[in-house]
Structure 1
């Protein structure tokens, strides 16, 4: 557990002492995508000092949130314990809550594969997806490429390496994904304007917020229906 103590006997206090230290929740966020080696975590959190990453991992292990285990072909990796995985709905809810105040990116702000994966999981509307036909997207944001597959209320997201094949985050190896995506599109941070509903798919294309590279352009409409966060809703009591 982190060395800071608030001196209060309360569940919220205990939670903050476990995961409230700087960077701790972002480590949890990335581990919700899948097990990670130390170097993977450092790469996904480029601004975290090495000593702080080591300290946070030690604290999270002592708190029963994270464990270190061997994984085939990867050596030792960090993963969430069952107790740690219970944080998933909390992290997704925090992502929706924070979406309302994101604004424009600051200088030096980056998008990582894990942060974009969790952003899409945050915005995923399983109820809407269940009423739509399956869809297969390839999403490019900055240097990150994700293969996003939706089938009913099931969502699968895999990072795509430059070679063009998705990587299975649980195995650390390339995963087979049959066929080409239905649509390939590229965007910058302005993709949040599509997800928030501020721009329709047609407007996002017209304003060059999104560029369809290949495939069926009409699938962008389905994407907008499937991944949507109303920032105003996060502020309603």
Structure 2
């Protein structure tokens, strides 16, 4: 049974009953990146109380959104096919919320999984199809990501690796992604620091990952 009952009968109400509890969609967001152990979910959501995380996982399992997958001595949580149907919903919410982000507070954190989903949200497959395959090694705050674009295909993995452009940036990179800041200006003002590779590839990155503010 859903933790909350709104007493109405329609699809939106039912969806909120299933995934509308606090933290539920952020758990779904992180599991869209890949299966996670309990400890990995807790580390990716550092402000979630352990009892709430346990409760949300049980609730999401009960309604068929996630499942437990025992692997050797480790239990992984992953989305079911029904749960993965939430991906376009989560990406649409991310695009909508991007318009109202503003400046980060001192107590707000960036995680590798949140940045992975942010990149999926901003990815413009239609633009990428006409561009050469490109790999980016990006240090976005504390998150180190290897971003590979090949036509309309996007792969984002934790860590580093061979890349055409290696760069680092803080939260102000959102001004580049929104189009408010030109790539050359982003480099000149220190919003983006190119560590290796031609500066011009940042133009390609900005074309490939774009969200209107």
Q: TM-score, normalised by structure 1?
A: 0.88
- 1:194-205 alignment, distance < 5 Å: 194-205=176-187
Q: Distance in 2 between matches of 1:75 and 1:107?
A: 35
Query: Which residue does the alignment assign to 2:145?
Result: 146
Query: Which residue does the alignment assign to 2:129?
Result: 130
Q: Secondary structure at the match of 1:198?
A: coil
Residue 125 of structure 1: CA displacement?
Answer: 0.1
Query: Which residue does the alignment assign to 1:224?
Result: 206
Task: Give the total of aligned pairs.
Answer: 213
Residue 102 of structure 1: CA displacement?
Answer: 0.4
Q: Distance in 2 between matches of 1:23 and 1:106?
A: 19
Q: Secondary structure at the match of 2:184?
A: helix
Q: Distance in 2 between matches of 1:199 and 1:3?
A: 44
Query: Which residue does the alignment assign to 1:215?
Result: 197
Q: Distance in 1 between matches of 2:37 and 2:184?
A: 41
Q: TM-score, normalised by structure 2?
A: 0.97
Residues 30-81 of structure 1, C-alpha deviations (whole Å, 9 max, x = no match) = 0000000000000000000000000000000001000001236x72100000
Query: Which residue does the alignment assign to 1:104?
Result: 103
Q: Secondary structure at the match of 2:137?
A: strand
Structure 1: segments with no counterpart, 5+ residues? 166-179, 232-237
Structure 2: segments with no counterpart, 5+ residues? none
Kindly indicate whether residue 62 of structure 2 is the aligned counterpart of residue 80 of structure 1: no
| Structure 1 moving runs of 4+ over 4 Å | none
Residue 2 of structure 1: CA displacement?
Answer: 3.0
Q: Secondary structure at the match of 2:36?
A: coil
